[in-house]
Amino acid sequence: MPLYSYKVKNEAGKLFTGEAKVDSEEELRRLLLDKGYTPVEIVEKNVINDISQIRLFKPRVKVKDLAVFCRQFSIVLEAGVPIANALDVLREQTTNRTLRECLDDVYDNIQKGIALSNAMRQHPRIFPEMLINMVEAGEISGQLDLVFKRMAIQFEKENKLNQKIRGALTYPIIVTVVAIAVIMILMVAVVPTFVKVLADFDVEMPIYTRILIAVSGFFKSFWFIILGALIVIGAGIAYFSRTYEGKIFFGTLAIKLPVIRGVTRNIMTARLTRTLGTLMSSGVLLIQAMEVVQKVLGNQVIREKIDGVIEEIKKGRGLTAPLAALNYFPPMVISMIRIGEESGNLDFALDKSADFYDEEVEASLAMLTSFIEPAIIIVLALVVGFIVLSVLTPMFTIYNEMSF
């Protein structure tokens, strides 16, 4: 359905602008006239007159946007507002352009009699499968407002977890970039200046100084090649990480490398318990819930192992034994799941475990950061120390010769 922008006048002659998704310009013109507006200009938006129509330039719908949407939807539904009217209100006040266009389409489908979950299922890039399954369960049970409240809490927790991860990695990344920039400046601008000074004196240079001069000359002559190589390598790693082989490779590293494996396990444990607890508390079947959980773990190696867990559940073995057989998730979680299954309060046990491992994630990320930061500083100190030593040694030799 095409998107149109329009400019209209009311009876008092005041101008208004807006956007609408309709089948044709004639339909939009008729709708505006029916509302008492006089169309002044109607333009169909496309990639030529609006760059935001290109998917690459459309704002991404983040977890935070979904959390706000679910929270507002639950409040409106609790007030007794019908679903169609609630969507009409929400799409008008949604700030994210991509989500607003999606809600426009969902609203149109609701008006045609399509169920909310089916209308949302037509936008898998926007709405996660977990949210769609929860909405479907809410429609069946008649507790749609409660479902959106639970999903708001789920997305708020997930957003908080993502912020912790980004916060822990931001400083090491900044330090690394600054370190690389400092080394590049030293090699391209500073070292050649000292080389010119040393060239005016007939002094024998140590091997490490000659190595530094050779490396500096290479940097100065081929800096563009080095920069291009770094860009190509970065793009290559990014592409490889999206392939199946790349997901397996990096997933294996994440669960094998010291320090990182502890952080990875805590993150996946928090996601598994939080997501599974939310789904089961809304009446989603265990097998269906595990299939959704499998997609939010973020590690291809563990995701494939969950296939075996799902198969065992289908055979009637429950959740505790198959998860314990993986030998990956912490014993405390396995014990909590066992207690939850035996008592019939699995969703409650999972929620409590999720609260605990949210705090564990924060602690493990702090430990990871405290390990990475000194390592980067030590490497930078060694490189800068080597450069300083390589420059000062011949300078001292020249000074000593001039003193005699």
State how beta strands 3-9 and 38-44 pair: antiparallel
Mean pLDDT by 10 residues, the chain (404 residues): 76 75 77 81 65 58 89 89 87 83 86 88 86 84 84 86 80 80 79 74 76 82 84 91 90 86 87 86 83 83 90 88 89 90 87 86 82 82 83 75 60
The whole-model pTM stands at 0.69
User: pLDDT at position 240, please?
Assistant: 92
Q: How far apart are CA 18 and CA 4, in angstroms?
A: 8
Can you name the residues that pair with 44 across neighbouring β-strands?
A: 4
Q: Cα-Cα-Cα-Cα dihedral of 370, 376, 381, 383, to 10°?
A: 160
Handedness of CA 177, 181, 183, 187 (dihedral sign): positive
Residue 125: CA count within 13 A, CB half-sphere: 9
User: pLDDT at position 235, please?
Assistant: 92
CATH no., domain 166-403: 1.20.81.30
User: pLDDT at position 94, please?
Assistant: 82
Range 63-158 has CATH code 3.40.50.300: no
Amino acid identity for residue 285 in this structure = L
User: pLDDT at position 46, please?
Assistant: 62
Indicate the DSSP class of residue 343: H
Sequence-ordered list of residues with C-beta below 8 angstroms from that of 60, at least 6 positions apart, any chain = 98
User: pLDDT at position 58, please?
Assistant: 66
